[in-house]
Amino acid sequence: MNAARALLVDGRAGEAFDRLSGAEFARSGEPEFDYVFGLAALASGRPAIATLAFERVLAVAPDYAAAHLDMGRAYYALGDLERAEQSFAVARSRNPPPDALATIANYEKAIAARRDPKRLRLTGYVELATGVDTNLNQATSASSVAIPAFGGSYTLGSASLARRDEYSAATAGGEAQYLIDDSTALYAGGDLQLRDYLKQNAYDIGSIDARAGISFADGKNLYRLGAGYNDYRLQSDRYRHVATALGEWRHGFDAHTSGSVSAQYNEIRYVTADQRGNDVNVVMLGAGLSHVIQRARPVTVFVGAFAGEERQERERTDGNRSLGGMRVGASLAAHEAVDVFASAAAQVGLYSRYNSLFLVRRREAQYDLGLGASWRFAPLWSVRPQVSVTRNDSNLPIYDTMRYDVSLSLRRDFR
């Protein structure tokens, strides 16, 4: 029993269930055994077995408040909302502690939401930030580069070198979700982002994002189909727009582990005549896995991989690009109100066309690191310090870059 409880605390519910199931026949009818066995069954994605275990507990100990609460959780997982509500009502009548009352209230809200098939849900946020960007134009820091086609080195102008500046930024967005029934929902949302540099105003950024789609839940599976549009601006002038279509499948393996598979298509089009040669169509495929390690301070870890192809719409200097990469990350609940997070990513790209100036096919490896924290100092309010590092390692020196971005943001959520 103690070993099984320890496994549950560590988030290893499947192992706890396997350990206890061998003793179920011999110890069935013992309230403590049946209760822990029910918890293991519920946490490992076996709610039907959990209800049987909790029924045995309540047959012997009808005033066992925790068993009533967890029976309600099991019925909810099975979609039996009426019996879930009844179990939560009994648990509430037993004067449970505050944390149990909060759990009951959350489930009662979820039941009410599932019973209202046309409920409109609105969320939003506003965020202000200030920071320092060491390479806002994503350029090389080398003052001269060798160009083999010309047989010598050439000095780059100041406009071609990395520029550093401080900035202020503002972001706002929201999303509406319309529940058609308890498994199908429509969603639509948008975001507005602004970044103003203190001195380098030619690089001031504005971005408008819009998205819409439909989601469908089926047991442990969630399917999403959607479309999006991005309008990217420099100094308020239209610079680039991106149209997106995407599909995603998410699967919950158990209460702590989920995975996803996605496909995305982007059409990237530049507005200015001198950039239209960079127009591309992009197809991306991705997969990811997320797991919550249950401990005194839960840790969420994720890993993902992706691959894709950029196809030139016109005659791009370096041609098409094949790319692929991986992402990993973790988030730690360091305190009740503080989360610490870190992420790393690597992406490789190989271009199809022989570059006539550098006499090679362009190839690159980009590495990204991120580190930060989020402090929820009041309900719906948070402060986030963050550092990000991007290194682009290219065999064409003009694309060989390093960038640091250090920022502090204040966010207000609306729900």
321, β-bridge pairs: 310, 351
Residue 291 and residue 386 in one domain: yes
Structural domain ending residue among the three candidates 115, 139, 162: 115
* CATH number, domain with residue 182: 2.40.160.60
Structural domain ending residue among the three candidates 115, 146, 167: 115
Q: Write out the two tokens for 212.
A: 């819409």
Amino acid at 43: A
Longest dimension (CA), the chain: 90
Residue 187 and residue 225 in one domain: yes
Q: Is residue 109 predicted with pLDDT exceeding 70?
A: yes
Residue 396 and residue 288 in one domain: yes
Share of residues in the chain with pLDDT > 90 (%): 60
Residue 176 and residue 325 in one domain: yes
Q: Which residues contact 159 (CB under 8 A, 6 or more apart)?
A: none
Residue 93 and residue 12 in one domain: yes
Residue 151 and residue 85 in one domain: no
Residue 300 and residue 370 in one domain: yes
Rounded Cα distance, 114 and 53, in Å: 26
Average pLDDT, the chain: 91
Taking alpha carbons only, the member of 249, 255, 298, 306 closest to residue 282 is 306
Residue 345 and residue 303 in one domain: yes
Band of pLDDT at residue 318, cut at 50, 70 and 90? very high
Pick the more confident residue, 27 or 122. Answer: 122
Rounded Cα distance, 250 and 302, in Å: 14
Distance spanning both ends of the chain, measured CA to CA = 41
Determine the pLDDT at residue 117: 57
∠ CA 211-345-267, nearest 5°, is 35
What average pLDDT does the segment 205-225 reach?
A: 95
Residue 209 and residue 102 in one domain: no
Residue 170 and residue 101 in one domain: no
Taking alpha carbons only, the member of 48, 43, 94, 87 closest to residue 68 is 87
Q: Helix axis angle, 47-60 relative to 65-78, nearest 10°? A: 150
Pick the more confident residue, 304 or 147. Answer: 304
Pick the more confident residue, 9 or 261. Answer: 261
Owning domain of residue 287: 120-414
Determine the pLDDT at residue 116: 67
Determine the pLDDT at residue 14: 81
Lowest-confidence pick of 22-31, 54-63, 286-295, 360-369: 22-31
pLDDT tens digits, one per residue of 144-192 = 788 888 877 777 777 779 999 999 999 999 999 998 887 899 999 999 9
> How many domains are contained in the chain?
2
Structural domain ending residue among the three candidates 84, 115, 146: 115
Determine the pLDDT at residue 395: 93
Band of pLDDT at residue 96, cut at 50, 70 and 90? confident
Q: Is residue 241 predicted with pLDDT exceeding 80?
A: yes
Residue 309 and residue 394 in one domain: yes
Determine the pLDDT at residue 293: 86
* Most confidently predicted of 111-115, 135-139, 404-408: 404-408
DSSP for 70-89, please give it. Answer: HHHHHHHHHT-HHHHHHHHH
* CATH number, domain with residue 28: 1.25.40.10
